[in-house]
Structure formats: structure tokens, C-alpha cells
């Protein structure tokens, strides 16, 4: 007890249990440090598959895993279920809704949130898809639209109930549109015996002239073709200006009657980044140096969606592989600071892009390798099952996907909350 203060290990506080936060804590597993991991949810969320929850392909706990279970055998991690409201960088204290906590090193990995680009009507009446609750809300809402349409006598109302708009031509938008098409044209069609499925309309709206802007042209074209084959109306160069919950207005005057608009057109960093009064770039992201530190705060690292890191003249995208690679370097640099060693500069190695558009259809682009169709879908499935964090979730997800594949079934189609 005598030399307690002398031997106290450095305290590392990590804000956020997403890909970046979890990986940082893991990378410090075998080191003499004390780690406090803070998140407002008690689970780590596999965000790239949120759209599968929204389209009733997977259930909530297939893509969410308790943080404490992840660190069951890593005793140097203490988890706090709390929301961070501020950081006092001068005194090295994090303020949470449940109290305060001091740190020696801080890692801000607070993730992203939906960016409505100031369109308040969309924020109010559309659906974001960044949290588990939002995905479940979309699932419940879509299923409820079908139940209402099944007994709706007014044809215009019925068509509006059956019009589903997804805004945003990136991976989330494309994958959602594809999965929604499969849900409707392979599953629902068998169960709404008296419904005219010609009244159903799935629309994917993108403001630019491309889907998957970062993919090679060949794969972009294959994506559009696949979506059209799946009865998805692809609308490029179309800008949404307003949505009141019943009618969506487009630039140029067109009005689409619809009760469902999913907004997958933008991401920005967590609102915490605004609160912190750090120097910010676009999308709220904090500006970091080449070692991922805040300028003039060597003990504070910012990674993932929270940080803007310029490489090759452009900021790195807000995707999981960036967060994971940055986590490794941030953890390494914290160890170096503790030992007085030289820091490592961060460089992103591009691992490629992949997205699935439905059964047997995906696009994969890695370095010079590109492919689409069944092979791409098989690669996508394999990679995503492997990535899901623990064996059991993998086994359950595998059973579900195989079952869906064999019999075109979706069992998660339950409406868990009554209309408010």
C-alpha cells in the first residue's frame, strides 16, 4: 500500500465502444494500464449491417454484442454505461451524466451520426439509420405500412403507403434498397394474398450522377442494373428539398406521395465534437496531427468518424476500416508515450470496398481485383460473417442467412412497438 501512487498504472479513458474504441482497448490488453471505456449503450454495434435489421433480415442481437462480454477476460478494462457531456482538457477530466472521471490519456472515438445537412423537415419526418433503435423503428414502420395498405380502400392513399424512398446512393442506401426489394418481392408477396404488388414502389434517390461514387465504373453500372432488375427505381441527379411525412418534394417541383423516407445521404461526427471546442474540419470532425493527436494535446487522440485525417489530399472516409486501423496506431502511440519512445505516423491502407445488393448479387473492389454477381456475394457473406465479433453470433447469423437463402424467408418481421 505504501507506494500505491508510485506504481499506479496510467489511466486511459476511451469514449465510444464502436469499432475504434473496442479496437483501442483490445490493443492495450497486455499492457500495464487501466482502461475506462465509456458508451451510452451497453453493446458494441456492427453498424454496417444495421440495414439488415431495418429490412427484417437479422435481429437486434445478431449485430449488437455486450461490451462487457467482449472484455470478459481483459481485466484492465472497466466499462461505464454513461453519456459524455464534456471534457476539461486542461485538468484532464471527462464529465459524464453519471459523474466525472480523470484521465492520463484520452481516446475520442465517439462515432458518427446522421447528417441531414440542415433539412429540418427530413430530420423530423424521415428515418435515420445510425442506431439500433432507428433500425427497429424502420422495420416496424415498413411492416405497419403493409398492414395498413392491406385494408386501405383509397387507391392514392394505398400507393403512398406502399411507396418507400431511400435517399443516398452510397453503400447504406444501395444495400437498403436491395434488401427492401427482396423483403417485399420474395417474402411479403407470398403473404399478402389480396394485394396488388404493382402498387409497390421502391425508389433510390441520389443527388450526384453516380451510385457508389468510389467504385470503378464497371461495378457502378452492374449495381444500377441489379437494382433495376430488383424493381428499384434509381433516380440520379435528384435533390430532395422537403419532406412533411406524407409528401416528398424534389428540386424542380416533382412531389412524391410517401409515408416512408429513409435518409442515408450523409454522416457527420457525433455532436460531442461540437461541444468540445476543438478545431474542426467539415462534418464536425476534429483536426488531428499525423500521430492522431489533437494539436497541442499530446495525451488526447481522436480516431474514426470523430477525426478528419487527410491522406492524398482528401479526408479519409467515415468507415469502419479507417477507425480500426487508427485504433491500432493510437494504442501504439499511447504505449510509446508511456515508455518515452518515438510516435508512429498514421497511414491508411485501403482494404477495398464491398456491398451487397441482395441474393447472389454484390460488388467487390479490392486493389486491382473487382467482381460482381454471385462470387462477389459469396465473398461479401464470408467476410461479414467472419467480422461479426463472436463465434455464437456468427453461428446464429450463418443459420439465418442460409435459411433465408434456401427458402426466401425472413422471420424477424415482428412489429415490436405499438404506434405511439
Q: Exactly one of 4, 134, 152, 175 is catalytic; which is it?
A: 175
The reply on whether position 103 binds a second copy by CB under 8 A is no
Near a second copy by CB under 8 A: residue from 80, 130, 230, 365: 80
| Closest alpha carbon to 175 in 20, 414, 317, 357 | 357
Near a second copy by CB under 8 A: residue from 30, 193, 314, 349: 193
The reply on whether position 390 binds a second copy by CB under 8 A is yes
The reply on whether position 35 binds a second copy by CB under 8 A is no
CA distance 106 to 93: 9
Find the shortest distance in angstroms from Cβ 31 to a second copy: 17
Stretch that binds a second copy, among 24-32, 78-86, 323-331, 333-341 (CB under 8 A): 78-86
The C-alpha angle 267, 139, 403, rounded to 5 degrees, equals 110
Site string for a second copy, 129-148 (x = CB under 8 A): ---xx--x------xx--x-
Q: Percentage helix, strand, coil, to 5, in the chain?
A: 40, 25, 35
79 versus 346: smaller Cβ distance to a second copy = 79
The reply on whether position 8 binds a second copy by CB under 8 A is no
Catalytic residue list contains 152: no
The reply on whether position 229 binds a second copy by CB under 8 A is no
DSSP state at residue 157? H
Beta-carbon count within 10 A of 256 CB = 19
Find the shortest distance in angstroms from Cβ 48 to a second copy: 17
Find the shortest distance in angstroms from Cβ 108 to a second copy: 21
Near a second copy by CB under 8 A: residue from 93, 236, 338, 396: 396
The reply on whether position 102 binds a second copy by CB under 8 A is no
CA distance 35 to 37: 6
The reply on whether position 162 binds a second copy by CB under 8 A is no
3 versus 73: smaller Cβ distance to a second copy = 73
Using CB under 8 A, count the residues that bind a second copy. 51
| Closest alpha carbon to 265 in 174, 183, 364, 179 | 174
43 versus 263: smaller Cβ distance to a second copy = 43
CA distance 379 to 375: 6
The C-alpha angle 385, 307, 271, rounded to 5 degrees, equals 95
Q: Assign 35 to helix, strand or coil.
A: strand
Q: What would the DSSP string read from start to end of 373-396?
A: EHHHHHHHHHHHHHHSSSHHHHHH
Half-sphere exposure of 311 (CA within 13 A, CB side): 16
57 versus 171: smaller Cβ distance to a second copy = 57
For residue 301, the surrounding DSSP H or E stretch is strand 297-302
CA distance 108 to 12: 11
- N-term to C-term CA, the chain: 56
Near a second copy by CB under 8 A: residue from 30, 72, 198, 349: 72
The reply on whether position 30 binds a second copy by CB under 8 A is no
CA distance 318 to 172: 12
Give how far Cα 64 sits from Cα of 180, 306, 378, 385, Å. Answer: 21, 21, 23, 14
Near a second copy by CB under 8 A: residue from 183, 204, 288, 412: 412
Stretch that binds a second copy, among 20-28, 73-81, 160-168, 291-299 (CB under 8 A): 73-81
| Closest alpha carbon to 109 in 347, 302, 376 | 302
Find the shortest distance in angstroms from Cβ 279 to a second copy: 31
Catalytic residues: 175
**Contact residues for a second copy (CB under 8 A)?**
40-43, 59-61, 64-66, 68-69, 71-72, 75, 78-81, 98-99, 132-133, 136, 143-144, 147, 150-151, 190-194, 390, 392-393, 395-396, 399-400, 403, 409, 411-418
Amino acid at each position: 500500500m505504501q507506494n500505491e501512487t508510485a506504481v499506479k498504472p496510467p489511466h486511459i479513458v476511451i469514449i465510444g465502444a464502436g469499432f475504434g474504441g473496442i479496437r483501442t482497448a483490445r490493443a492495450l490488453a497486455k499492457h500495464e494500464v487501466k482502461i475506462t471505456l465509456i458508451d451510452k449503450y451497453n453493446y458494441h454495434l456492427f453498424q454496417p449491417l444495421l440495414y439488415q435489421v431495418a429490412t427484417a433480415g437479422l435481429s437486434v442481437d445478431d449485430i449488437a454484442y455486450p461490451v462487457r462480454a467482449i472484455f470478459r477476460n481483459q481485466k484492465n478494462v472497466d466499462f461505464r454505461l454513461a453519456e459524455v457531456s464534456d471534457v476539461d482538457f486542461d485538468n484532464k477530466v471527462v464529465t459524464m451524466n453519471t459523474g466525472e472521471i480523470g484521465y492520463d490519456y484520452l481516446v475520442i472515438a465517439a462515432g458518427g451520426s446522421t447528417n441531414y445537412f440542415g433539412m429540418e423537415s427530413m430530420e423530423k419526418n424521415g428515418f435515420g439509420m445510425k442506431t439500433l433503435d432507428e433500425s427497429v423503428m424502420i422495420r416496424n414502420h415498413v411492416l405497419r405500412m403493409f398492414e395498413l395498405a392491406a385494408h386501405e380502400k383509397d387507391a392514392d392513399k394505398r400507393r403512398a403507403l406502399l411507396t418507400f424512398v431511400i435517399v443516398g446512393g452510397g453503400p447504406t442506401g444501395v444495400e437498403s434498397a436491395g434488401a427492401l426489394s427482396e423483403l417485399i418481392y420474395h417474402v411479403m408477396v407470398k403473404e399478402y394474398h389480396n394485394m396488388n404488388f404493382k402498387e409497390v414502389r421502391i425508389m433510390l434517390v441520389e443527388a450526384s450522377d453516380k451510385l457508389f461514387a468510389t467504385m470503378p465504373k464497371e461495378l457502378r453500372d452492374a449495381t444500377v442494373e441489379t437494382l433495376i432488375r430488383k424493381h428499384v427505381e434509381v433516380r440520379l441527379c435528384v435533390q430532395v428539398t422537403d419532406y412533411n411525412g406524407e409528401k416528398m418534394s424534389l428540386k424542380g417541383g416533382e412531389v412524391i406521395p410517401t409515408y416512408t423516407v429513409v435518409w442515408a445521404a450523409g454522416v457527420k461526427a457525433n455532436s460531442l465534437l461540437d461541444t468540445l471546442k476543438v478545431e474542426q474540419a467539415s462534418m464536425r470532425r476534429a483536426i488531428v496531427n499525423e500521430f492522431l493527436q489533437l494539436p497541442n494535446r499530446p495525451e488526447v487522440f481522436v480516431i474514426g468518424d470523430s477525426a478528419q485525417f487527410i491522406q492524398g489530399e482528401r479526408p479519409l472516409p467515415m468507415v469502419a476500416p479507417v477507425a480500426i486501423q487508427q485504433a491500432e496506431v493510437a494504442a501504439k502511440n499511447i504505449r510509446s508515450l508511456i515508455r518515452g519512445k518515438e510516435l508512429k505516423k498514421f497511414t491508411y491502407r485501403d482494404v477495398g470496398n464491398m456491398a451487397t445488393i441482395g441474393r447472389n448479387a454484390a460488388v467487390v473492389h479490392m486493389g486491382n481485383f473487382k467482381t460482381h454477381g454471385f462470387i462477389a456475394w459469396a465473398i461479401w457473406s464470408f467476410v461479414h460473417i467472419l467480422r461479426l465479433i463472436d463465434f455464437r453470433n456468427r453461428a446464429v447469423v450463418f443459420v439465418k442467412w442460409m435459411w433465408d437463402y434456401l427458402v426466401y424467408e425472413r422471420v424477424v418481421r415482428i412489429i415490436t412497438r405499438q404506434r405511439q
